[in-house]
């Protein structure tokens, strides 16, 4: 039976961790994810978990500890944000290429610099090519639910890839919401045990991990890894289906909101979806056919499915909450626009980079984007594709 509780996003993750009772937690503080190891430390102090709680001296060592622990056959978890994730960068690749199912709670915060503690997605977007599965949450409920599904996805035998469960720093990590929680026993049953066939310890044969992989072998291993990421899409949907059957809440690769007849649509990630939904209701009341695609799974990227979902839309704004520094748009834009290339008739498409380093994005801001899409439809002119929204400017900006 689900039950209602008021929890912040960080509390919800820590609560899920306690229920799962992972083997090893490598802990290092960084705003805004610090509360996760803090809450968990109390569970350890109270004897509520069996976990080895390793208080490392850096995020680099927290990921290294997870690598060692996962290779030893343990369920290893950690949490981080921003610079912490950046400091792990090399180890993110190691974890993925060694095919170690590690679960990382990423509380998204902008990446230096200048240093700033507020939310955007530049930290995890910087890690988008590291070989990690990335799942994003709109709210506390989704953060909790995604975390409960994480290990089963990443431990799927033909996947075996580490997984990042992302939520928006402060916006969901620190905001308290009423959410549905599941009972400990039901969570344990759903998540199950992990007993990998091979491990550094406790098997009748030794295991060697992390070779020097010479040219005749290394590309083959990289292809295996790429295949595993393709397999992850199926695994995510399988686990989501079981989750829905078990707990009644439905998840997919992304959420389509009022898309059935949408003429203008946004594609975005995370908590801004709530703001966009409020805006859509307002516009729909005026007769505007507005819709939204909220990306849940960014890696693997649901390319064909996104293209299909946008195939009937006339104008799309892809909202990037991180700057790509490519001089032509953010990372989500690159993926979505690429996804639509194979469509017979493509929607007009712009990129809006917004909300950097915690810059607020209100319903009125989202409305400006929809109005701009309507303007594009009226004029037939897409205009500049790569726009920023929310910054002060001495010039007249498009948004």
Smaller CB separation from other proteins, 62 or 80? 62
Which of 174, 221, 368, 371: binder of other proteins (CB under 8 A)? 221
Please state whether 8 falls in left (phi above 0), alpha (psi between -120 and 50) or beta.
beta
Residue 349 Cβ vs other proteins, minimum distance, rounded to whole Å? 36
Give the C-alpha separation, 111 to 80, whole Å: 12
Q: Which of 217, 343, 360, 375 binds other proteins (CB under 8 A)?
A: 217
Classified as helix, coil or strand, 185 is helix
- Residue with smaller CB distance to other proteins, 160 or 294: 160
HSE toward the beta carbon, residue 322, CA cutoff 13 A: 25
Mapped onto helix, strand or coil, the DSSP state of residue 112 is coil
Binding mask 226-265 for other proteins (x = CB under 8 A): -xx-------------------------------------
By rule CB under 8 A, what string of x and - marks binding of each residue 265-294 to other proteins? ------------------------------
- DSSP secondary structure, 358-375, as one string: G----HHHHHHHHHHHHH
CB atoms within 10 A of CB 294: 23
Q: Which stretch binds other proteins (CB under 8 A): 225-233, 290-298, 304-312, 372-380?
A: 225-233
Residue 209 binds other proteins (CB under 8 A): yes
What angle do the packed helices 140-155 and 184-191 form, to 10 degrees?
A: 40
| Closer of 64 and 122 to other proteins (Cβ) | 64
Task: Give the binding range for other proteins (CB under 8 A) out of 6-14, 217-225, 275-283, 383-391.
Answer: 217-225
Q: Is the Cβ of residue 224 or residue 382 nearer to other proteins in the bound state?
A: 224
Residue 365 CA to residue 4 CA, distance in Å, equals 32
Taking each helix axis from N to C terminus, what angle separates 9-20 and 184-191, rounded to the nearest 10 degrees? 70
Residues in 120-179 at the binding interface with other proteins, rule: CB under 8 A: 160
Q: Site size for other proteins, by CB under 8 A? A: 58
Q: Work out whether 200 is an interface residue with other proteins (CB under 8 A).
A: yes
364 binds other proteins (CB under 8 A): no
For the bound state, the minimum distance from the C-beta of residue 72 to other proteins, rounded and expressed in Å, comes to: 4
Distance CA 124, CA 107 (A): 9
* Member of 38, 48, 55, 311 binding other proteins (CB under 8 A): 55
Q: 394: alpha, beta or left, given left = phi > 0 and alpha = psi -120 to 50? A: alpha
Interacting residue with other proteins among 45, 115, 176, 201 (CB under 8 A): 201
Query: Is residue 391 exposed (0-12), middle (13-18) or buried (19+ Cβ within 10 Å)?
Result: exposed
| 205 counts as binding other proteins under rule CB under 8 A | yes
Residue reference for tokens 């996804």 = 339
Pairwise CA distance, residues 343 & 332, whole Å:
18
User: Considering only residues 210, 326, 362, 397, which one is a binding residue for other proteins as defined by CB under 8 A?
Assistant: 210
- Residue 374 makes CB contacts below 8 A (sequence gap 6+) with 264, 288, 315
The span of 178-186, 207-215, 289-297, 367-375 binding other proteins (CB under 8 A) equals 207-215
- Least distance in Å: CB of 116 to other proteins? 25
Strand partners, 135: 165, 297
Please give the DSSP secondary-structure letter assigned to residue 110.
P
Mark the segment that binds other proteins (CB under 8 A) among 33-41, 173-181, 208-216, 372-380. Answer: 208-216
> Which residues, numbered 56-115, are part of the site for other proteins (CB under 8 A)?
56-58, 60-62, 64-74, 76, 90-91, 94, 97-100
Contacts 24+ apart (CB under 8 A), 213-222: 221/97, 222/97
- φ and ψ at 27, to 5 degrees? -115, 130
Interface residue with other proteins among 214, 325, 379, 394 (CB under 8 A) is 214
Residues found near other proteins in the complex (CB under 8 A) = 23-24, 26, 50-52, 54-58, 60-62, 64-74, 76, 90-91, 94, 97-100, 160, 195, 198, 200-202, 205-214, 216-217, 220-221, 223-225, 227-228
């Amino acid at each position: 039976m689900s039950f209602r509780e008021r929890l912040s996003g960080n509390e919800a993750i820590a609560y899920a961790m306690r229920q799962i009772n992972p083997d090893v937690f490598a802990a290092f503080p960084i705003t805004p994810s610090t509360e996760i190891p803090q809450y968990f430390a109390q569970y350890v102090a109270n004897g509520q978990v069996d976990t080895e709680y390793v208080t490392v001296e850096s995020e680099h060592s927290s990921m290294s500890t997870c690598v060692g622990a996962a290779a030893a056959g343990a369920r290893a978890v950690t949490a981080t944000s921003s610079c912490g994730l950046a400091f792990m960068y090399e180890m993110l690749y190691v974890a993925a290429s060694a095919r170690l199912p590690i679960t990382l709670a990423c509380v998204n915060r902008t990446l230096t610099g200048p240093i700033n503690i507020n939310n955007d997605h530049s930290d995890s977007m910087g890690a988008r090519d590291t070989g990690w599965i990335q799942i994003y949450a709109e709210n506390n409920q989704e953060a909790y639910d995604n975390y409960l599904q994480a290990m089963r996805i990443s431990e799927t035998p033909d996947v075996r890839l580490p997984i990042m469960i992302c939520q928006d720093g402060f916006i969901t990590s620190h905001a308290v919401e009423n959410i549905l929680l599941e009972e400990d026993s039901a969570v344990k049953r759903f998540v199950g045990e992990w007993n990998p066939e091979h491990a550094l310890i406790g098997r009748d044969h030794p295991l060697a991990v992390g070779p020097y992989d010479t040219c005749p072998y290394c590309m083959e291993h990289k292809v295996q890894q790429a295949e595993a990421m393709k397999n992850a899409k199926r695994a995510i949907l399988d686990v989501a289906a079981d989750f829905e059957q078990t707990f009644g809440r439905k998840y997919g690769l992304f959420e389509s909101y009022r898309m059935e007849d949408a003429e203008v649509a946004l594609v975005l990630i995370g908590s801004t979806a709530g703001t966009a939904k409020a805006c859509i209701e307002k516009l729909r009341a005026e007769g505007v056919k507005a819709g939204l695609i909220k990306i849940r799974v960014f890696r693997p990227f649901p390319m064909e499915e996104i293209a299909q979902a946008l195939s009937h839309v006339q104008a799309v704004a892809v909202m990037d909450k991180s700057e790509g520094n490519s001089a032509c748009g953010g990372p989500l834009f690159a993926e979505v626009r690429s996804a639509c290339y194979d469509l017979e008739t493509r929607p007009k498409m712009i990129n809006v980079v917004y909300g950097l380093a915690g810059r607020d994005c209100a319903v009125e801001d989202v409305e400006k984007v929809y109005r701009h899409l309507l303007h594009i439809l009226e004029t037939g002119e897409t205009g500049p594709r790569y726009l920023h929204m929310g910054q002060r400017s001495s010039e007249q900006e498009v948004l």
